[in-house]
């Protein structure tokens, strides 16, 4: 499972390198990946996901460029594999059947996420979209309320 974290972090490092053209993001991702793989229950995965998200958000290029489409499943995969690696000791023999339900849920989440991304691609951008922003804030309020109720 720890190997899966590393494999999921590989496209993240590659995208960040190609996006920025610098080595520093790759080094940071490698360090955070190592931390996540060694201690999946630590803050490592959160730092890795947060750093990659911020680096992509404040990078140059179109908001829905290819790198972003690759990063959406990759960052989610880092989150899921870290969560499972944190509850499974090292050298555990994992039956594939045990991963069937998480894989199914991952696919559902990704389908919805890509739907949201596709929806975002069609929303008009630029000044004068006050109504859209208002709708977005309303949707966010609903989401926060639902999440707060679940907690």
Residues within the interface to another protein (CB under 8 A): 41-43, 45-46, 49-50, 52-54, 56-58, 63-64, 68, 71-73, 75-76, 79-80, 82-84, 86-89, 91-95, 97-98, 100-102, 105, 108-110, 112-113, 116-117, 120, 136-137, 140, 143-144, 146-147, 150-151
User: What sign results for the dihedral spanned by CA atoms 9, 14, 19, 25?
Assistant: positive
CA-angle at 12, arms to 7 and 17, nearest 5°:
125
H-helix or E-strand containing 59? none
Closest contact distance (angstroms) between CB of 65 and another protein is 9
In this structure, the number of other CB atoms found within 10 A of the CB of residue 51 comes to: 17
Choice between 23 and 93, CB closer to another protein: 93
Closest contact distance (angstroms) between CB of 143 and another protein is 6
């Amino acid at each position: 499972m720890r190997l899966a974290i590393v494999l999921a972090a590989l496209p993240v490092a590659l995208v960040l390198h190609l996006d920025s053209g610098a080595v520093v993001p790759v080094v940071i991702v490698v360090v955070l990946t190592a931390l996540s793989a060694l201690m999946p229950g630590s803050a490592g995965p959160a730092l890795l996901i947060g750093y990659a998200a911020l680096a992509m958000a404040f990078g140059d290029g179109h908001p829905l460029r290819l790198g972003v489409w690759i990063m959406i499943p990759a960052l989610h995969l880092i989150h899921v594999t870290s969560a499972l690696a944190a509850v499974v000791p090292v050298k555990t023999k994992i039956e594939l059947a045990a991963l069937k339900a998480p894989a199914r849920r991952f696919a559902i989440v990704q389908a919805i996420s890509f739907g949201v991304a596709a929806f975002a691609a069609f929303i008009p951008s630029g000044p004068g979209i006050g109504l859209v922003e208002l709708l977005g804030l309303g949707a966010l309020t609903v989401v926060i309320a639902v999440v707060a109720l679940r907690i």
